[in-house]
Amino acid sequence: MKDKIEALRSKFSSELKTVADLSSLEELRQTFMSKKGAIQDLMKELGKIPNDQKKDAGQMINSFKQEVNEHFEARKKELEELALKALLDHTESYDDSMPTGNPCGSYHPITLIQRELEDIFESMGFDVEDYNEIVDDYNCFEALNIPKFHPARDMQDTYYLTTPNQLLKSHTSAAQNTIMRKYGDKLKKYGRPIRAVFPGRCFRNEAIDACHENTFFQMEGVMIDKDISISNLIYFMKTMLSEVFERDVTVRLRPGFFPFVEPGFELDIQCLICGGDGCPSCKNSGWLELCPCGMIHPNVLKHGGINSEEDPFEYTGFAFGLGLTRLAMMKYGVGDIRVFNDGDLSALSQFVSR
Ligand code: PHE
């Protein structure tokens, strides 16, 4: 027994020296300590030796087992420390000559103005809705009383996808039909007025210059209930604009043509720079054109499932299409629309929300 232990001891110590990582250490531990390992074999042999030698042999096996265990633990600790050191040596590499700059990003001015408007409209009971950028011809035009080949389509030439009937929305009005279908039931069953705003990116086939972009933002709003009139429209527009510009604004309505509203208007605000006297920013007229709007056309309400054939005027409503990009230009005094899309951070990072 003594010889066998001795042979195992030298085998063990020479193999331990070759172990370089934790997993081969574990393998070695198995060959000695597992149920089928070398020490267990010794225990089996213990049964075969004469009784008077058993005690000594047993003690020898036990102390060998202890010895093996201690060596394992010591080597394990060593290897763990080495692994940690290697990790620290390799991972902690940073360049302290890198400029730190501004660690926080900033919001895009359109995002700022959009959020501000969402808060204002939410405080007046409007739902804020999200809508697709890819829409179909029906939602973008036909449901809005713009039949195929109607000349009004010329004003909104956009980008058509190769998938038939799919296009990039040319105005946020493209969501009107969906909103009417979403909330129409609640209006009719429970008398809950439809009040919703839906901001979104719009696209048009435009030649780009300081005042025109092929990609811009609008915020559409609709309100539908019994007896909604132009005075409701004026009230909401005026309240919203006074909040945005943080002062009382004077508005006026001029007739404007859009097939999906009747009557349709262009809403102007009195120039905030000259107070209406006339200056270069309002082209000496004293007014700035801001927001097309109007009373929703009966055909649009019919397409949206709001009114029936029998009572085409049961519900009425207004709609407006606020140019978010234009509003941001006015509010932040940005003279060139291209600033918003060209990704120049030195320009875009100067805006902060109030
Ligand atoms: N959708 C129209 C446009 O983009 C604007 C508009 C919206 C006009 C709602 C009237 C009512 O030109």
Tokens for 333? 């005094």
Measure 292 CA to ligand 1 centroid, in angstroms: 5
pLDDT at 45: 85
pLDDT at 105: 79
Q: Tell whether 114 and 242 lie within a shared domain.
A: yes
Tokens for 206? 């435009």
Percent of residues, the chain, with pLDDT higher than 90: 56
Measure 156 CA to ligand 1 centroid, in angstroms: 11
Do residues 293 and 262 lie in contact, with contact meaning Cβ atoms separated by under 8 Å? no
Residue-wise pLDDT for 57-81, tens only, equals: 888 898 888 998 999 999 999 998 9
Residue-wise pLDDT for 86-131, tens only, equals: 877 766 566 677 766 656 778 999 999 999 999 999 999 999 999 9
pLDDT at 236: 95
Beta strands in the chain (DSSP E): 127-128, 134-136, 166-168, 194-203, 215-225, 251-255, 261-270, 287-296, 316-323
pLDDT at 299: 96
Measure 171 CA to ligand 1 centroid, in angstroms: 7
Residue to mutate, 258, 318, 320, ligand 1, most ligand atoms under 8 Å from C-beta: 258
Q: Do the domain assignments include residue 215?
A: yes
Q: Tell whether 289 and 159 lie within a shared domain.
A: yes
Number of domains in the chain: 2
Q: Do the domain assignments include residue 100?
A: no
Q: How many CB atoms lie within 10 A of CB 289?
A: 15
Q: Tell whether 308 and 166 lie within a shared domain.
A: yes
Residue nearest to ligand 1 atom 5, measured at CA: 321
pLDDT at 88: 76
Q: How confident is the model at residue 186 (pLDDT cuts 50, 70, 90)?
A: very high
Range of the domain at 327: 109-348
* Cα distance between residue 131 and residue 172, in whole Å: 8
Residue to mutate, 169, 173, 325, ligand 1, most ligand atoms under 8 Å from C-beta: 173
Query: Which atom from ligand 1 is nearest to the alpha carbon of 155?
Result: 12
pLDDT at 275: 87
pLDDT at 103: 62
pLDDT at 213: 93
**Mean pLDDT value of segment 267-279:** 88
Q: Tell whether 69 and 151 lie within a shared domain.
A: no
Tokens for 224? 């539908």
pLDDT at 94: 64
> Mutual orientation of helices 2-18 and 51-91 as an angle, nearest 10°?
0
* Cα distance between residue 299 and residue 111, in whole Å: 33
Query: Which atom from ligand 1 is nearest to the alpha carbon of 265?
Result: 10
Single residue among 31, 59, 90 that ends a domain in this structure = 90
Q: Tell whether 129 and 40 lie within a shared domain.
A: no
pLDDT at 46: 84
pLDDT at 165: 94
Q: Do the domain assignments include residue 96?
A: no
Task: Say yes or no to pLDDT of 211 above 60.
Answer: yes
Residue among 52, 74, 55 at smallest CA distance from 63: 55
pLDDT at 2: 81
Task: Say yes or no to pLDDT of 341 above 80.
Answer: yes
Q: What is the mean pLDDT of the chain?
A: 91
pLDDT at 92: 54
Measure 145 CA to ligand 1 centroid, in angstroms: 12
Task: Say yes or no to pLDDT of 11 above 70.
Answer: yes
Q: CB pairs under 8 A, 24+ apart, for 309-317?
A: 314/226, 315/187, 315/224, 315/225, 315/226, 315/228, 316/224, 316/225, 316/226, 316/227, 316/228, 316/229, 317/194, 317/222, 317/223, 317/224, 317/225, 317/228
**Mean pLDDT value of segment 176-193:** 97
pLDDT at 151: 92
Q: Do the domain assignments include residue 265?
A: yes
Q: Tell whether 166 and 42 lie within a shared domain.
A: no
* Cα distance between residue 320 and residue 267, in whole Å: 9
Residue among 145, 132, 134 at smallest CA distance from 167: 134
pLDDT at 277: 93
Identity of the residue numbered 330? M
Task: Say yes or no to pLDDT of 40 above 90.
Answer: no
Q: How confident is the model at residue 353 (pLDDT cuts 50, 70, 90)?
A: low
CATH of the domain at 151: 3.30.930.10
Task: Say yes or no to pLDDT of 305 above 70.
Answer: yes
pLDDT at 91: 61
Measure 308 CA to ligand 1 centroid, in angstroms: 24
Q: Do the domain assignments include residue 98?
A: no
**Mean pLDDT value of segment 297-317:** 96
Q: Look at residue 291 and give its three-state secondary structure.
A: strand
Q: Do the domain assignments include residue 103?
A: no
